Structure 1
Amino acid sequence: MNRRTLKIWAVTERGAHQGQRLCAALGGDLCLPDKPWVSGFPKARIVPSLREGIAGGFHGADGHVFIMAAGIVVRMIAPLLKSKAQDPAVVVMDEAGRFAVSLVSGHIGGANRLAEEAAAAVGAVPVITTATDTHGIPSVDGVVSERGLVVENPSAIKTVNMALLEKRKPLLWDPMGIYADMADSYAPAGERAAADVVVDCSSAPAKEGALVIRPRRVTVGVGCNRGTDVEEILEVMGKAFEAGNLSHLCLKAVASIDVKADEEGILKAAERLGVPLSFYTKDQLSGTEGVVTPSAAALKHVGTVSVCEAAAIQSANMGPLVVPKVKGKNVTAALAMASSTS
């Protein structure tokens, strides 16, 4: 499972030993109740209240493994669930280590894969109950999770998955070829407006009921005056997406010049958007091909004729510029298109 954070929860000493094995194999934090036997687990995080501990950290982790009865878990997490697009992976394992059950967010959250990994780590049997998996069919949300894509309207997933289960080929609009290896499951749409599934970065509306999937391929390069507020930076970024008729869900990364590495507005913008932030030297930016609006002012102040356009291209691994420099009062932004989501 491609995760950032994993929490493993146990309520008994035997379960804690299983959790320790999982931590060794998968990483993550072992979370235990405040009981006399926890002294044998010095690296564990002690939670005085299981319910409060889970509630406080549920959406802060990408995955959870609960080594306890499924009924306890269901009652604990039920009030915390939001949607299949937002919830973390949840796996339940018995303390004997016999079964690892994918309980919540099997595909998008990666619980199915986490269950398989947890099972492999302790010699358990993974239990996967999602219909597409039991029939050996690649589900929409499973493919989305594996390929680093974003679903714009998760409510439409069910309709497409049902079509796949019934061996009906949904019409697919995929100009980037992201689903090129899935010709057995989808039929090509003659035009975007006719597609049941749209996979692109265009902000143009799809037909009613169509599933819209966004590849994270757009990088934004940013330049700004010192001390520019995060809201102004985000506003100009938004104008760049509007200028290119591109969905903001396709945002992959933010980039700028290295002298802005301590620029609070840029740092906060990337954090708020939840994407990586990278910085490039003036020499790297100066040698970037594809810049269309060089600036004498930028050359004078930071030593390169382009910041936002060059940074966007660099961040996209030299992918083409798709939106040239958009100017605000104190901010410039430009967009480039990477060739992959990785």
Structure 2
Amino acid sequence: MKHQSLKIWAVTACGAKLGQRLSEALGAELCLLEKPWASAFAGARLVPSLREGIASEFNGADGHLFIMATGIVVRMIAPYLLSKAEDPAVVVMDEAGRFAISLVSGHIGGANRLAAEAAAVVGAEPVITTATDTHGIASVDGVVTERGLVVENPSAIKGVNMALLEKRKPLLWDPMGFYTDMAGLYTPATDRGTADVVVDCEITPVKEGALVIRPKVVTAGVGCNRGTDVAEIMEVVGRAFEAGGISPLCLRAMASIDVKADEEGILEAAKRFGVPLSFYTKDQLSGTEGVVTPSAAALKHVGTVSVCEAAAIQSAEMGTLVVPKVKSKNVTAALARVSSTS
């Protein structure tokens, strides 16, 4: 399985040989110290020291696999750890390739999964110590990343997982069915306000201590005048979320018309929101069903009656428009929800 941004670190020639094997299998970047032996590993990133390399790369990657002693890794990464919701996956493997230890961010970051994948490559034993996993129970946060979900309040995870370990069934509000296959662990809530776990996009209040999980199922279509500042684009997208009573954490992607493919404000907005950005031709947008605010001005200037609404619907795989056009002097934005969560 290829990972978006996985770094494999080794500090000896022996570790580098194992790291090269793992990097090829996992689609990762091999990072080595600037030593004479490192020249034998073509394509590896060379760093002056492990400390400098980690300082530069740690929080910018999705995961790290260190082939060295666990103590070294703990001391090196300690200054850069933020929280279980933000830290990248960290796995440690010994140079003999006997054990792959999930060290940090086992669930949300995916370290447990990475440890299992790395172990399978070299025939090692994955070492998983998270309580729910050791008891054979699927944790509430264990499926978050793979199912396109985001935990809004990580501090509430502990209480829910403790309930699962104690065989208590937390009340679950999950109208889109993200936890359907784990129904045996929960009791369906009939009222959102009583639920212990809430899985939806609404920004209305929940009961004290409830875990809120946001599904990334909303797309934002954007149109703007040439040269519009990124701040105005982000402000209007934010207003669209407010208008719909939707959490911005549910943003899955952004989209616009192809003539805006070089629009710096839109490109930067997608980067800051941390979502992919797609562009559609005027012909694609013109044929989009579900547009509710057609514009004669848009037709005149770009050849289609809708940019933001049509782009949002297209990006949502022909989903449902949930927030029609919101606009400022230079920006239009609309939101759509994907038609399927599968």
Structure 2: unaligned runs, 5 residues or longer: none
1:106 and 1:49 map into 2 onto residues whose CA distance is 26
Paired residues for 1:204-215 under 5 Å: 204-215=204-215
Aligned mates of 2:3, 2:247 — CA distance in 1: 25
State the shift of 1:141 in Å. 1.3
**2:281 corresponds to which residue?**
281
Tell me if the contact between 2:5 and 2:63 (Cα under 8 Å) persists in the aligned partners.
yes
Give the distance between the partners of 2:294 and 2:156, measured in 1 at CA: 44
Instruction: Name the stretch that deviates more: 138-147 or 98-107.
Output: 138-147
1:230 aligns with 2:247: no
Residue type of the alignment partner of 2:51: R
Fraction of identical pairs, as percent: 80
Task: Tell me the number of residue pairs that the alignment of Structure 1 and Structure 2 aligns.
Answer: 342
**In the aligned structure 1, how far is the partner of 2:329 from the partner of 2:289?**
26
Q: Matches of 2:49 and 2:272 in 1, distance apart?
A: 30
Instruction: Find the residue that maps to 2:300 and give its secondary structure.
Output: helix
Conservation of the 8 A alpha-carbon contact between 1:252 and 1:341: no
Q: 2:171 — aligned with what?
A: 171
| Structure 1 position 310 matched with structure 2 position 310 | yes
Whole-angstrom CA distance in 2 between matches of 1:267 and 1:162: 42
Give the corresponding residue for 1:130.
Answer: 130
Please state how far the C-alpha of 1:175 moved relative to its aligned partner. Answer: 1.3
TM-score by length of 1: 0.98
Distance in 2 (alpha carbons) for counterparts of 1:202 and 1:18: 47
SS state at 1:198 partner: strand
* Alignment partner, residue 20 of structure 2: 20
Q: How far is the alpha carbon of 1:2 from its aligned partner?
A: 6.7
Gaps of 5+ in 1: none
**1:253 aligned onto 2:253:** yes
What's the CA shift for 1:36? 2.1
SS at 1:183 equivalent: helix
Quote the offset at 1:35 in angstroms.
1.8
Secondary structure in 1 matching 2:290: coil
| 2:336 equivalent to 1:333 | no
Q: Give the corresponding residue for 2:292.
A: 292
Cα displacement (A) at 1:341:
5.3
Aligned amino acid, residue 216 of structure 1: K
Paired AA for residue 170 in structure 1: P
* Structure 1 residue 231, shift from structure 2 partner: 0.3
Q: Which residue of 1 aligns with 2:266?
A: 266
Per the alignment, in what secondary structure is the counterpart of residue 167 of structure 1? coil
The Cα shift of 1:239 comes to 0.6
1:45 Cα offset (Å): 1.4
Give the drift of 1:64.
0.6
Equivalent residue number for residue 150 of structure 2: 150
* Deviation for aligned residue 1:42: 2.5
- The aligned residue for residue 93 of structure 2 is 93
Equivalent residue number for residue 116 of structure 2: 116
Alpha-carbon distance, 1:190 to partner: 1.4
- Measured in 1, the distance between the counterparts of 2:340 and 2:56 equals 35
Matched with 1:5 is: 5
Deviation per residue, 1:277-315 (Å, 9 max, x gap): 000111111100000110111111111111110000000
Partner SS for 1:58: helix
**8 Å contact kept, 2:255–2:315:** yes
TM-score by length of 2: 0.98
**Greater than 2 Å deviation, 4+ residue runs:** 339-342
1:64 to 1:340, Cα distance in 2 relative to 1, 3 A: farther
* Distance (whole Å) between structure 2 residues aligned to residue 218 and residue 72 of structure 1: 42
Question: Any conservation in 2 of the 1:149–1:341 contact (CA below 8 Å)?
Answer: no
